[in-house]
Amino acid sequence: MGTSIDVDWIEMTGYAASALVFLTFYMKTMIPLRVIGILSNLAFMAYGIGGRIYPVFILHAVLLPLNCIRLVQMQALIRKVRDAAQGELSMEWLMPFMHRRHVAKGETLFCRGDRAIELYLILSGSIRLVDVAVRVGPGSVLGEIGIFAPTAERMDTALCETDVDVGVIANDRVLQLYHQNPTLGLYLIRLVIQRLLENYMKLRDASNASISRSTRDVSTSS
């Protein structure tokens, strides 16, 4: 009788573990996937011990801490993105997903019309956006508009006024992070809107200054 109960318990644990694996394939976002993955690891470990199937136990004993680490990393990323979305705009939290690139003084990081395939975070140095006559420095982000632009082209030319170090991440990687954590999309949209507003205000101020000069010239000639 006792043996039958033990076999039923082991068999049910195996079915539960298999069902949890199925659910991991059904999950569409990373955090629920990791949570279900952890539960399936625990279930398979119990199944492996109960049924004395030690390779199954060893496999999921190795996968369990990996799933736990990834879950903690994703939760930390979400907290950082949420703080960024609610506070000042900063992309420094994205550095672990970037690689570093050095660009010499006088070189162009990208030109207007180039295909926009990367996002940049300026780590040191100064870059001038030629068309809008804007200078940007450390902490500034370049290339975020290219992620969403239908043509995926650069809207300006970025000229290095000094030696520059930038963090670089491919647009595809940014979109992958976005799909894993939609909060990142809110951050990027805020960033794009801020950049467009800044450009609009500069153009508006330049237009107002031009109108004021024209009015003064007319008044003087009269």
- Per-residue pLDDT of 6-17, as tens digits, reads 567 888 888 888
Confidence tier at 104 by pLDDT (50, 70, 90): very high
Residue 192 has pLDDT above 60, yes or no: yes
Q: Which residue from 60, 66, 65, 64 is spatially nearest to 47, judged by alpha carbons?
A: 60
Average pLDDT for the chain: 81
Superfamily holding 92-213: Jelly Rolls (2.60.120.10)
d(CA 188, CA 54) in angstroms, rounded, equals 47
Whether this model's pTM surpasses 0.85: no
Q: What is the mean pLDDT of residues 51-61?
A: 90
Which tokens in the block code for residue 41?
A: 């690891």
Q: Name which residue leads in pLDDT, 24 or 183.
A: 24
* Contact status, residue 93 vs residue 77, Cβ threshold 8 Å: yes
Q: Name which residue leads in pLDDT, 99 or 221.
A: 99
SS3 assignment, position 134: strand
Residue 1's pLDDT is what? 47
Residue 110 has pLDDT above 70, yes or no: yes
Confidence tier at 215 by pLDDT (50, 70, 90): low
